[in-house]
């Protein structure tokens, strides 16, 4: 076993130990989010509805940490994934995109729903079905056909997942997908790709090899330690650059440790 592999395993172990410590700490102030605006957006997009909420502040810290990577030259293409389903990837992706847009001068940020199996982006945005990534990768739509924005958050751009294709893995592994990531990188300040979980399917591993950074979402008191370790191992084997871990499902504000989620 090489030194690099041992170092990666050690880093992963330390991250998991931090996460396990978080869920055992004394609980403080309850996080409550109120949907104050009349909007079709899901109430869990707290960065939109309540930018000053405790949860929103944690996304600001996450954004600051990302922007400070590589001495202020952060990765422009970032995949957001998790070990298993229902860990909060899409909600985290949307809140991160919203917070990044406020922290970036002349923001040009796009969020891509890379889950062509069970994409949820449109549901959280309260938007109707539309052409998306699957149609583009099959050659049935152009980039202009699938790009869209909303009046509520017009400073962000989106690409939906599209209709469920018969061969999502083959489409993601295609040159057309690689070219799309490169084209979006040239056009936007940040490209965020919400991917399926790592353990059940290989989609996230494929996308992770195309982007400059991967964020792992981990749900407190939900995700087993072995699942996280295995997911990290698969991403590392594909030469993905894991830039941090985001802890979700924390119901209370934990001042001493919450900043350590990245």
Residue 17 or 176, more confident: 176
The length of the chain, given as a count of residues: 262
Cα–Cα distance between 161 and 111 in angstroms, integer?
11
Residue 51 or 12, more confident: 51
Partners of 110 in the beta sheet? Answer: 157, 191
The mean pLDDT value of the chain amounts to 86
- Interval 15-55: pLDDT, tens: 555 555 444 433 333 344 444 456 889 999 999 999 988 88
pLDDT band for 253, please (50, 70, 90 cuts). very low
Reduced 3-state DSSP string for 208-226: HCCCCEEEEEEECCCCCHH
Q: Which residue in this structure is represented by tokens 């090489």?
A: 2
Task: Give me the pLDDT at residue 32, please.
Answer: 41
Task: Give me the pLDDT at residue 193, please.
Answer: 98
pLDDT-wise least confident of 27-41, 92-106, 216-230, 243-257: 27-41
Is the separation of the CB atoms in 218 and 247 below 8 Å?
A: yes
- Interval 146-171: pLDDT, tens: 999 999 898 899 999 999 999 999 99
Q: How far is CA 13 from CA 24, 56, 112, 204, 219, in A?
A: 17, 28, 30, 21, 16
pLDDT band for 223, please (50, 70, 90 cuts). confident
Task: Give me the pLDDT at residue 222, please.
Answer: 86
Cα–Cα distance between 62 and 260 in angstroms, integer?
9
pLDDT-wise least confident of 80-84, 209-213, 254-258: 254-258
Q: Which of 27, 184, 48, 214 is nearest to 112 (CA)?
A: 184
- Interval 114-151: pLDDT, tens: 999 999 999 999 999 999 999 999 999 999 999 999 99
Is the separation of the CB atoms in 23 and 255 below 8 Å?
A: no
Is the separation of the CB atoms in 41 and 33 below 8 Å?
A: no
Cα–Cα distance between 93 and 49 in angstroms, integer?
15
- Interval 74-110: pLDDT, tens: 999 999 999 999 999 999 999 999 999 999 887 899 9
Over residues 234-252, the mean pLDDT reads 89
């Amino acid at each position: 076993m090489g030194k690099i592999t041992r170092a990666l395993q050690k880093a992963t172990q330390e991250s998991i130990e931090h996460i396990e410590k978080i869920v055992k700490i004394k609980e403080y102030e309850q996080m409550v989010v109120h949907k104050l605006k009349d909007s079709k957006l899901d109430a869990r997009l707290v960065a939109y509805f309540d930018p000053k909420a405790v949860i929103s502040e944690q996304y600001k810290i996450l954004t600051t940490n990302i922007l400070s990577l590589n001495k202020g030259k952060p990765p422009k293409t970032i995949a957001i994934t998790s070990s298993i389903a229902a860990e909060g990837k899409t909600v985290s992706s949307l809140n991160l995109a919203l917070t990044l847009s406020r922290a970036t001068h002349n923001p040009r940020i796009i969020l891509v729903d890379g889950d062509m199996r069970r994409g949820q982006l449109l549901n959280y945005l309260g938007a109707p079905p539309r052409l998306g990534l699957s149609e583009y990768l099959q050659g049935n739509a152009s980039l202009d056909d699938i790009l869209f924005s909303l009046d509520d958050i017009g400073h962000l751009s989106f690409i939906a997942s599209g209709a469920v294709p018969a061969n999502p893995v083959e489409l993601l592994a295609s040159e057309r997908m690689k070219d799309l990531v490169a084209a979006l990188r040239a056009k936007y300040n940040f490209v965020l790709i919400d991917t399926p979980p790592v353990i059940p399917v290989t989609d996230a591993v494929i996308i992770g090899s195309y982007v400059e950074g991967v964020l792992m979402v981990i749900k407190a008191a939900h995700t087993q330690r072995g699942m996280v370790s295995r997911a990290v191992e698969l991403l590392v084997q594909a030469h993905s650059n894991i830039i941090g871990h985001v802890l979700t499902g924390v119901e209370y504000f934990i001042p001493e440790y919450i900043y350590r989620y990245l």
